[in-house]
Chains A and B, each alone.
Chain A
Amino acid sequence: MDDVTPYVVLSGILFTIGCVGVLTRRNAIVVFMSVELMLNASNLALVAFAKQHGNLDGQIAAFFVMVVAAAEVVVGLAIIMTIFRTRRSASVDDASLLKY
């Protein structure tokens, strides 16, 4: 119970899965969820390292990440809603006008 390495490795795996999710899914909301998964993975690492080092800074950092994530989700989902409202689509590939 004194080694946090498995937590950190789990964090890495979850982060990777979230990363692949961002890259492969097309539904903007699912992409967003994958981003949240990545954020959570990093939170896990922060908390694990907090325990490793025996201070609470990691937990504070995770806390801030959560707060920022909350703000981000609010704005991000509002953007998705706005796009959906105008384009009738939540696919990230459909918003591809800004190109060559």
Chain B
Amino acid sequence: MVAFWILAPIMVIAALGILFVRKAVHAALLLAVVMMSLAVLYLALEAPFLFAVQIIVYTGAILMLFLFVLMLVGVDASDSVVETIRGQRAFAIAGGVGLGVLLVTGLGQITLGTAVGLDDANAPGNIQALANILFSRYVFAFETTSALLITAAVGAMVLAHRERLTPKAGQPERAAQRMQDYAEKGAHLGPLPPPGVYARHNAVDTPALLPDGTAAESSVSRVLAARGTVRSAPALADDIEEIEHQIGWAPHAGRDAAPPASTTEEAPATGGEH
């Protein structure tokens, strides 16, 4: 009972959290809390097999599926707090309270008395006992369940399947497309330059430098460019002087006044030193 009194408030608070948190991911995590606690309660109720199944199937599989879909849909999607259907929230709360009062009072009215306990039933071991029942009395239901699961799997595949609208482009088609783009728009024919190959850094967020010292825009991912996290190559050159000073080599006096272009010109050389 100790476990119950510890877990029950946690579960209720977590469940209420599902109601109030705005982000679906948080709701999923709170649901995980409820489910894990529930697993523990199963253990307390002498159902070790369900304890395992609850953790493995529910928390492990189903909840992960939820999170997976959340990732697909958009983790950031959060509910607006404004209720759009007039009276829905008030009636929902009223109905919920009514249901809760009804259930709790209804259950409070009945006296269950002392539980029989599962010691006898679990005598050969909980899993063996369950298996005995499952494969004897409930065998048809069990087999039906397998059909259900297969149907569900097929259904999910059918639902998730997207029809191809255009024929799949193979290598010849892609090559032809590239040549056409080059002919019409002058698009670069070869592969895109890898990032930072000839710069001081070869991180993905550092653009490569072209032979004339300018940064190659196409060498970094457009996503990074959109996020504004691309580092410019010349900005990385501010420690050159310090390094030259450390190694006691000063080929140019007016280094500071030099235009960034000149810096980039030297970049291959410095890069070569590394």
Contact = CB atoms under 8 A, between A and B. Distances in A.
Q: Chain B: interface residue count, which band?
A: 35 or more
Contacts of B100: 12-13, 16
CB-CB nearest 7 A-B residue pairs: A54-B116, A23-B92, A12-B103, A71-B152, A20-B96, A78-B159, A16-B100
A32 B66 contact: yes
A33 B83 CA distance: 19
A1 B18 contact: no
B187 interface: no
A20 B159 contact: no
Contact of A56 (B77, B129, B141): B129
B130 A63 contact: yes
Contacts, number: 235
B216 interface: no
Interface of A: 1-10, 12-21, 23-27, 29-30, 32-34, 36-37, 40, 43-44, 47-48, 50-57, 59-60, 62-64, 66-75, 77-82, 84-85, 90, 93
B8 to A, nearest CB: 5
B152 A75 contact: yes
Given A23-B92, A23-B95, A75-B159, A37 B118 contact: no
Interface of B is mostly: helix
A51 B117 contact: yes
A28 B153 CA distance: 20
A37 B31 contact: yes
Interface of B: 1, 4, 8, 11-12, 15-16, 18-19, 24, 27-28, 31, 34-35, 38, 41-42, 45-47, 49-50, 53-54, 57-58, 61-62, 65-66, 69-70, 72-74, 77, 79-80, 83-85, 88-89, 91-93, 95-97, 99-100, 103-104, 107-108, 112-118, 120-122, 126, 129-130, 133-134, 138, 141, 145, 148-149, 151-153, 155-156, 159-160, 162
Nearest to B31: A33
Contacts of A59: 47, 49-50, 130
A30 B27 contact: yes
Given A69-B62, A73-B66, A5 B160 contact: no
A4 B85 CA distance: 39
